[in-house]
Amino acid sequence: MDVPLSYYLSLSAILFVIGAAGVLTRRNAIVVFMCIELMLNAVNLTLIAFSAYLGSIAGQALVLFVMAVAAAESAVGLAIVIAVYRNRQTVNIDEINIMKW
Amino acid sequence: MTADQLTGLAVLLPLGGFLLNGLLGKRLRSELISGALGSAAVGGAFVVAVMCLVELLGLPPGQRSLTVHFFPWIAAGGFHADAAFQIDQLSVVMMLVVTGVGMLIHVYSIGYMHGDPGFARFFAYLNLFIVAMLILILADNFLLMFLGWEGVGLCSYLLIGFWYDRKFEKGTTGDAAKKAFVVNRIGDFGFLIAMVLIVVTFGSLRFETVFAQASALPVGTPVALWITLALFLGATGKSAQIPLFVWLPDAMAGPTPVSALIHAATMVTAGVYMVARCSILFTLAPASMAVVAVVGAATALMAATIGLVQNDIKKVLAYSTISQLGYMFLALGVGAFSAGIFHVVTHAFFKALLFLGSGAVIHAMHDEQDIRKMGGLRPALPVTFWTFLIGTIAIAGIPPFAGFFSKDEILWNAFTRGSWVLWLLGVLGAGLTALYMFRLVALTFTGEPRWEKGTHPHEAPLTMTVPLVVLAVLSAVGGFLGLPESLGGSNPFERWLGPVFARADEKLALVAYPGAFTEYFLMACSVAIALTGIYFAYAWYMRHPEVPGSLVKRFGGVYRVLLNKYYVDELYDGAVVTPAVKGSEMLLWKGVDVAVIDGIVNGLARAAGAAGRALRLVQTGVVQNYVLVFLTGAVLLVGWLLAQ
Amino acid sequence: MTAESLLFFFLAAFAVTTAVLMILERSPLVSAIYLIANFFALAALYLLLRAQLLAVLQIVVYTGAIMVLVIFVIMLLNLGSESRPHGRPEVQTVVAVVLALGFLAEIVYAVAAGPARGAGETSGPPPEALGTVESMGDALFGKFLLPFEVTSVLLLAAMLGAVVLARRRG
């Protein structure tokens, strides 16, 4: 392998941090959701990198499960977003604060 | 089983009566069963008392003291007190009086309390009282006696306030009951201090142990002074002497049988019994004995003066009781212990008789108690009149009735062993006693009727008159138990109690016998003064009824002082009661309870509320804030791990 | 500079650029498109790392299913663009950026300073057939059978949840 493992890990970290910043700053619930997916993908990259450099299939198997969970989560999450939109007519996170004290 | 072992039964029978009448009485709904049950319980105890007497008679005089041990009660470190009874000459005498007179009063109550909704409860309380009184008398140590002491105080409270929703003078019967209990408590404080001192000094509370050690001590031992003064404080509370007598007149709020049993014949004599039992301790402290004698004489005279002007039939008898108790303490104070106990016995007979008779009068007059509204009752209530008259003659001290022998012996001992001042006070009191008692008889039974037309007084039923007759007989002939040698008797009563007071008698200074002439002269003085009192009663209340009215007008100030009982109640109220109540209200209630304790509790609650209000601001409801916190935590955690 | 590292840098730059553009874009639909581009880049990277099956699955599942669903929802709700941020940035934004950069610094430090387990940077090339369908199948139905089955239950639950949640009342 020409590219050192640390390069892949750094790339993964950059993508993860970009996703985290997006979660914290965006107002639209669906965009927040997409940023979360980005974070998940960054983790997937880390796992696959390790799997390649250690020669083990376990990392990739785990990535498969992560993908499956992400799929399930996206389905449910978007259903929730739709339900909230029906009630509140908005997906702006600032306005969905009924759990406020 | 020997008689002394049966004494446990004597206590258990009335206890069973208390439980049965108390728990099932209402359901039984039969006055006959409740009344018979209560009376039979006490009757059984009386039988046991007689059996104990017989057993003691069979023993030689020096060994007439049996201990019945039930179970070890308290064993803490080096100290123990057992539940045990001491059957000796003194306790047997008291037991006979309590159960005998008690049984008669129980039978009387069947008639008197007829129709009362709390009939069964009354008998339950009466039985409980007998239980407590017997424990008091028969205990072989101070702690068990104190248990009985408190028990009779409790029963007194329950029975004074028996008609708990009834008005009485300035308050309710409940107030009178509370007053009795609280005043008694002050005396009990003295008793407790005495017990502590006794344990510290003698190492035990058992009578035999303490008295054996005490007889080895010299006269004038300082600790004996404090012990006996504290004990006497307890006695003044229970036996209504100066300064703690104020509860007894108020105790007349209770039903008349209660007044007869508790506040005449038995409970109030507990103080006398206690002092007599501790005779050896008192003889070690001549100063205490002087206090006892002076307080007794002063109380005797003071109460007699108050009784002279009272208009409620039971109040007159109440002050008479206080006065007679004063005589008993006078006897104890000069060292004539058996004379004091003798007067307890005779007084139980005639005072119970007088109270029960007054109950018959009240019953006939449909609960009227003011003697100014009576008069001319003799034709309607013959049995009541004759028995009441016998009781009055007895209390006035006219021979050959019982009161003469006991009172005369007290006065004789006061003169020879005390001082002529004490004798003079006693004699004056005796004269006043005769005067106010015959005033009572005159105003109640003789003269023109002053009651309303439709009252129709009628004689009491048999359940009430039979006890009256029995007590009248005892009042008439009971005195011969103590017939002194100067009149040809051998004073069996004094000889019977001799061994009990032997230790004390050793400590007392021997007194020279002043001579037979002095004895007969003093006897004659007693009778003369009594007759003088009777004469004046006859003159003022039967012959010339207008004289008392003019006397009141001439001595208006004195009359008012006497009528208001020397304003003692008002004095106590102002000096003690009101400051205590106000002080508690200001300081303890508002200061401590509200400000401090409530402040702490409410303050904690407020603090919890404030903390909650502050913490809930964390819940903003915006998910991104939560993620931010999450991320912050992750950053910190990773940083910490890296630093490792 | 081998072809592989050149390709890596290119794909890495592409991925980062699209990610940044995604979070900065105001229109949700355009953000979604950027994310899809990012996923393509990642799929190529997976191929570089001998994860053949996963690269395909990335395209099929992530872009083909999840992002399609997202775009579908965006269009269903007919969401407009977010308003342009005016005035000074809020506290939340500043703190978020600071934290994110801090986190990045920590990770890079960890990656650079600590040795990767398994003898250094390069420990021999991974076998070509590391992530093929056959080897993945061996792993899934062999060592990882239980997680595999449990995941299927998870998917069932998610399906039910989604149906219930999105149902119209009444």
Q: What is the pLDDT of residues B210-231, one digit of tens each?
A: 888 888 888 888 888 999 999 9
Give the number of other Cβ atoms within 10 Å of residue B509's Cβ: 9
Q: Do A99 and B621 touch (CB under 8 A)?
A: yes
Mean residue pLDDT across chain C: 84
**pLDDT value, residue B115:** 83
CB-nearest partner of C106 from B624, B628, B642: B642
Spatial separation of the C-alpha atoms in residues C34 and C21, rounded to whole Å: 7
Stretch B322-342: mean pLDDT, rounded? 91
- Asked if pLDDT for residue C1 goes beyond 70, the answer is no
**Neighbors of chain C by Cβ distance (3+ pairs < 8 Å):** A, B
Q: Do C92 and B639 touch (CB under 8 A)?
A: no
Q: Residue B631's closest chain C neighbor by CA?
A: C99
Tracing tokens 């978007």 back to the chain, one arrives at: A78
Q: Which domain holds residue C66?
A: 1-81
Cβ(B446)–Cβ(B378) below 8 Å? yes
Q: What is the pLDDT of residues B569-619, one digit of tens each?
A: 888 888 888 888 888 887 777 777 777 888 889 899 999 999 998 888 878
Q: Which domain holds residue A54?
A: 5-95
Residue B48 carries which DSSP code? Answer: H
**B554 and B574, same domain (yes or no):** no
Closest CA to C68 of A80, A18, A23, A37: A37
Cβ(B382)–Cβ(B467) below 8 Å? no
Residue C122, chain B, CB below 8 Å: the answer is no
Interface of B with C in 358-397 (CB under 8 A): none
Number of domains forming the structure of chain B: 3
Q: Which domain holds residue B7?
A: 1-140
In three-state secondary structure terms, B468 is helix
Q: Is residue B91 part of a domain?
A: yes
**B436 and B511, same domain (yes or no):** yes
Q: With beta carbons under 8 A apart, name residues in chain B contacting C95.
A: 628
- Asked if pLDDT for residue C119 goes beyond 50, the answer is no
Q: With beta carbons under 8 A apart, name residues in chain A contacting B638.
A: none
Q: Do A1 and C144 touch (CB under 8 A)?
A: no
Q: Is residue A100 part of a domain?
A: no
The CA distance from C94 to the nearest CA of chain B, in Å, is 11
Between B41 and B548, the higher pLDDT residue: B41
- Of A75-89, C44-58, C143-157, the one with minimum mean pLDDT is A75-89
Q: Is residue A24 part of a domain?
A: yes
Spatial separation of the C-alpha atoms in residues B344 and B460, rounded to whole Å: 28
Between B372 and C61, the higher pLDDT residue: C61
Q: Is residue C63 part of a domain?
A: yes
Q: Is residue C148 part of a domain?
A: no
Q: With beta carbons under 8 A apart, name residues in chain B contacting A97.
A: 620-622
* Residues near C97 by beta carbon (within 8 Å), at least 6 away in sequence: A21, A25
Spatial separation of the C-alpha atoms in residues B232 and C76, rounded to whole Å: 102
**pLDDT value, residue C117:** 47
Give this prediction's pTM: 0.71
**pLDDT value, residue C120:** 47
Spatial separation of the C-alpha atoms in residues B41 and B129, rounded to whole Å: 12
CB-nearest partner of C99 from B625, B632, B642: B632
Number of domains forming the structure of chain A: 1
**pLDDT value, residue C88:** 66
Q: Do B628 and C96 touch (CB under 8 A)?
A: yes
Tracing tokens 């369908």 back to the chain, one arrives at: C133
Residue C110, chain B, CB below 8 Å: the answer is yes
**B115 and B187, same domain (yes or no):** no
Residue B628, chain C, CB below 8 Å: the answer is yes
Q: Do B638 and C95 touch (CB under 8 A)?
A: no
Strand partners, B141: B206
Number of domains forming the structure of chain C: 1
Q: With beta carbons under 8 A apart, name residues in chain B contacting C107.
A: 638
Interface of C with A in 53-112 (CB under 8 A): 53-54, 57-58, 61-62, 65-66, 69-70, 73-74, 76-77, 79, 82, 92-93, 95-97, 99-101, 103-104, 107-108, 111-112
Stretch B345-374: mean pLDDT, rounded? 87
Q: Is residue B588 part of a domain?
A: yes
Q: Do C92 and B624 touch (CB under 8 A)?
A: yes
Interface pTM (ipTM) of the complex? 0.90
Q: Is residue B189 part of a domain?
A: yes
Q: Residue A20's closest chain B neighbor by CA?
A: B631
Q: Mutation test of the interface with chain B: which of A18, A24, A80, A95, choosing the one with the most B Cβ atoms within 10 A?
A: A24
**pLDDT value, residue B136:** 94
Q: Do C103 and B638 touch (CB under 8 A)?
A: yes
- Of B89-98, B352-361, B396-405, B558-567, the one with minimum mean pLDDT is B558-567
Q: How confident is the model at residue C115 (pLDDT cuts 50, 70, 90)?
A: low
Q: Mutation test of the interface with chain A: which of B619, B623, B630, B632, choosing the one with the most A Cβ atoms within 10 A?
A: B623
- For C121, the token pair is 């940077």
Stretch B542-558: mean pLDDT, rounded? 78
Q: With beta carbons under 8 A apart, name residues in chain C contacting A6.
A: 111-112, 116, 121
Interface of C with A in 14-53 (CB under 8 A): 15-16, 19-20, 22-23, 28, 31-32, 35, 38-39, 42, 45-46, 48-51, 53
Q: Is residue C117 part of a domain?
A: no
Q: Is residue B154 part of a domain?
A: no
Q: Is residue C56 part of a domain?
A: yes
Residue ranges of alpha helices (H) inside B203-278 are 207-214, 222-238, 247-250, 256-260, 270-277
The CA distance from B639 to the nearest CA of chain A, in Å, is 15
Q: How confident is the model at residue C86 (pLDDT cuts 50, 70, 90)?
A: low
Stretch B39-61: mean pLDDT, rounded? 87
User: What percentage of chain B carries pLDDT values higher than 70?
Assistant: 99
**pLDDT value, residue C126:** 65
Spatial separation of the C-alpha atoms in residues B37 and B548, rounded to whole Å: 48
Residue ranges of alpha helices (H) inside A26-101 are 29-54, 58-88
**B484 and B518, same domain (yes or no):** yes
* Residues near B278 by beta carbon (within 8 Å), at least 6 away in sequence: B211, B228, B231
* Residues near B385 by beta carbon (within 8 Å), at least 6 away in sequence: B377, B378, B445
In order, the DSSP letters of B346-400 are HHHHHHHHHHHHHHHHHHHTTS--BGGG----TTT-HHHHHHHHHHHHHHHT-TT
- Asked if pLDDT for residue C134 goes beyond 70, the answer is yes
Q: Do C127 and A54 touch (CB under 8 A)?
A: no
Q: Do A100 and B622 touch (CB under 8 A)?
A: yes
Q: Mutation test of the interface with chain C: which of B635, B637, B640, B644, choosing the one with the most C Cβ atoms within 10 A?
A: B635
Q: Do A93 and B628 touch (CB under 8 A)?
A: no
**Neighbors of chain A by Cβ distance (3+ pairs < 8 Å):** B, C
For chain B, list residues whose CB is within 8 angstroms of any CB belonging to chain A. 616-624, 627-628, 631
Q: Do C20 and A8 touch (CB under 8 A)?
A: no
Q: Is residue B444 part of a domain?
A: yes
Most confidently modeled of B105-119, B438-452, C90-104, C142-156? Answer: C142-156
Stretch B92-121: mean pLDDT, rounded? 90
**B87 and B234, same domain (yes or no):** no
How are the residues of chain C apportioned to helix, strand and coil, as percentages rounded to the nearest 5?
70, 0, 30
Q: Is residue B190 part of a domain?
A: yes
Among B560, B595, B616, identify where a domain stops: B560
**B60 and B136, same domain (yes or no):** yes
Spatial separation of the C-alpha atoms in residues B197 and B101, rounded to whole Å: 35
Spatial separation of the C-alpha atoms in residues B472 and B388, rounded to whole Å: 8
Q: What is the pLDDT of residues B218-266, one digit of tens each?
A: 888 888 899 999 999 999 988 888 888 888 988 888 899 998 988 777 8
The CA distance from B635 to the nearest CA of chain C, in Å, is 6
Distances (CA, A) of B208 to B55, B60, B68, B93: 21, 19, 13, 19
Q: Is residue C29 part of a domain?
A: yes
Q: Residue C134's closest chain A neighbor by CA?
A: A57
CATH number for the domain that contains residue A70: 1.10.287.3510
Between A45 and B169, the higher pLDDT residue: A45
Q: For residue C6, which amino acid is it?
A: L
- Asked if pLDDT for residue B636 goes beyond 60, the answer is yes
Q: Is residue A101 part of a domain?
A: no
Mean residue pLDDT across chain A: 88
Stretch C125-135: mean pLDDT, rounded? 76
